Amino acid sequence: MELEERVAKIVKVLEKKFGIPQRKSDVDPLSNLILTVLSQNTNDKNRDKAYQRLKEKFPHWEKVMQADVKQLEEAIRPGGLAKQKSTRIQNILTWIHDEYGSLNLDFLCTMNPDDTIEKFCQLKGIGVKTISVVLMFSCGVDIFPVDTHVHRICRLVGLVPQKASAEKTFWLMKPIVPKGKSFSLHMNFLKLGRSICLARRPRCKQCPINQFCDYYLLVLQ
């Protein structure tokens, strides 16, 4: 079975199991970018707490950009790596302001996604996963972000080589995800990774896509 056909079948099975995900995010691209930076190396609960504290302390991005870095660090502490993230967030905001003249990234939704990735991945703290999350959630771009769960599942199933990095996985998956199904596959892989395909002890017998999975077919049978 060709990879494209295999992925298409996986999409259908997961949609039958978990449903077709609906887009709900109305977060603007800049807010989403900072939110995604805060999400690095932490869980959603801590990310959201850090973001809430950040916005309460500094209601406008200009205030964040101009803030004393120690105060910024304290505000986002619940998200972990506060010293690193505070510096990176300020550097990102300063770069955006210098490059585009304002702290607004709504125009990203009209740019070529590959150009956006190339441009923003030059910045420390922004990788292909971070910017692709922004494009998918805030702009509705048909793009397939690769986070920890997605990366693990793609390798276990055998859609990409076992040693492929998360970034390499992003580029390898790009041509084989069915058109218009990137959001669905990403969200349903997240559900699968959090409920069945667990990192330490995957529940392979319960997995709805085990018939397509190299790990299940080659290792467990």
Residue 144 φ then ψ, to 5°:
-115, 90
Indicate which residue of 129, 163, 181, 191 is catalytic.
Answer: 129
Instruction: Over range 71-94, report the average pLDDT.
Output: 96
Q: How far apart, in whole angstroms, are the C-alpha atoms of residue 196 and residue 210?
A: 11
Give the whole-number percent of the chain exceeding pLDDT 70. 98
CA distances from residue 25 to 30, 92, 140 in whole angstroms, order as listed: 13, 22, 9
**Contact status, residue 127 vs residue 173, Cβ threshold 8 Å:** no
Give the tens place of pLDDT for each residue, 128-168: 999 999 999 999 999 999 999 999 999 999 999 999 999 99
**Catalytic annotation on 129?**
yes
**Who's near 63: CB < 8 A, 6+ residues apart?**
none
Interval 180-204: pLDDT, tens: 999 999 999 999 999 999 999 999 9
Q: Give yes or no for a contact between 144 and 170, defined as CB atoms under 8 angstroms apart.
A: yes
Q: What is the pLDDT of residue 24?
A: 80
| DSSP classification of residue 22 | -
Q: What is the mean pLDDT of the chain?
A: 95
The CA distance from 78 to 89, in Å, is 15
Whether the per-residue pLDDT at 220 is higher than 70: the answer is no
Structure tokens at 55: 């916005």
Query: What is the C-alpha separation between 177 and 198, in angstroms, rounded?
Result: 22
Distance (Å, whole) CA 39 – CA 47: 5
Domains of the chain: 3-22+145-220 (1.10.1670.10), 29-139 (1.10.340.30)
Residue 25 reports pLDDT greater than 80: no
Question: Are the C-beta atoms of residues 79 and 85 closer than 8 Å to each other?
Answer: yes
Answer for the pair 39, 125: CB distance below 8 angstroms, yes or no.
no
Contacts of 127 (CB under 8 A, 6+ apart): 121, 166, 167
Which 3 state secondary structure label does DSSP give 102? coil
